[in-house]
Amino acid sequence: MALLSKSDQPDIVDGMVEYVTMSVLALHRDLVPYIAMQRSQGWQQMRILPASSCHVGVLGLGVLGQAASQKLAGFGFQVAGWSGSRYEIDGIACSAGPDEMAEFLARSEILVCLPPPAGEARIGLDATLFAKLPRGAKLLSAGGRDHLDQDALLAALDDGQVSAAVLDVSSEAQLPKGHALWTDPRVLITSHIVGMI
């Protein structure tokens, strides 16, 4: 499929790209553990690696995923994208369909989850998906509600399969007060600011 136009909703697209860029850079540069260290008044030096050494996978290549992929590639990240339908995007390794999902996930050191193109089903972020990521992978979930298995994410964090996560939460019903994710030091939560400008 060809690139889609963002002319209909440029503010939403630009806001999403800014949010994704901020979050991927934060995950890549270990901001989540540094925040936890600050809170505990502890200190541990983290290894700094160039963006060019990091594989980022973008799950969902609609207008938002296409724009975010291209921006991340501009920072030097090795970016791949997956969608239910085949896309061709300059500089992005594109995968499509269920047969190519496992290989896409296996290379995604940072997985970015965005809304899929219109007409495509959301992919559930669950234990099966987390198990296919490289050990210690990092997660950005900015794809709206009802697709993240919160208990599976907590289990993956406890197991070390996932090392950090940034979650954009759209409502209190999606993540109620008192839920363990709110205070987990490996998780950074924002309150539905993905596309706001």
24-54 pLDDT, tens digit each = 999 999 999 999 999 889 888 888 899 999 9
Q: In which band, very low, low, confident or very high, does the pLDDT at 196 lie, cut at 50, 70 and 90?
A: low
Let me know if residue 69 belongs to a domain. Answer: yes
Closest C-alpha among 194, 146, 1 to residue 84:
1
Domain that holds residue 138: 11-33+50-189
Res. 66: pLDDT tops 60:
yes
Res. 13: pLDDT tops 60:
yes
User: In the chain, how many domains are there?
Assistant: 1
Let me know if residue 175 belongs to a domain. Answer: yes
Average pLDDT over residues 146-153: 86
Let me know if residue 23 belongs to a domain. Answer: yes
Instruction: Please report, for the domain that includes residue 91, its CATH number.
Output: 3.40.50.720
Q: Which amino acid is it at 175?
A: L
Structure tokens at 175: 């993540």
Let me know if residue 161 belongs to a domain. Answer: yes
Res. 170: pLDDT tops 90:
no
Contact criterion met (CB below 8 Å) for 163 and 110? no
Res. 125: pLDDT tops 70:
yes
Let me know if residue 194 belongs to a domain. Answer: no
Dihedral, 43, 47, 48, 50 alpha carbons, nearest 10: -160
| 14 burial type by CB count under 10 A (0-12 exposed, 13-18 middle, 19+ buried) | middle
- Of the chain, the percentage scoring pLDDT greater than 70 comes to 89
Q: In which band, very low, low, confident or very high, does the pLDDT at 17 lie, cut at 50, 70 and 90?
A: very high
Q: In which band, very low, low, confident or very high, does the pLDDT at 10 lie, cut at 50, 70 and 90?
A: low
Let me know if residue 44 belongs to a domain. Answer: no
Res. 171: pLDDT tops 50:
yes
Contact criterion met (CB below 8 Å) for 157 and 33? no
* Range in 26-35, 144-153, 184-193 with the lowest mean pLDDT: 144-153
Let me know if residue 39 belongs to a domain. Answer: no
The total number of residues written for the chain in this structure? 197
Let me know if residue 134 belongs to a domain. Answer: yes
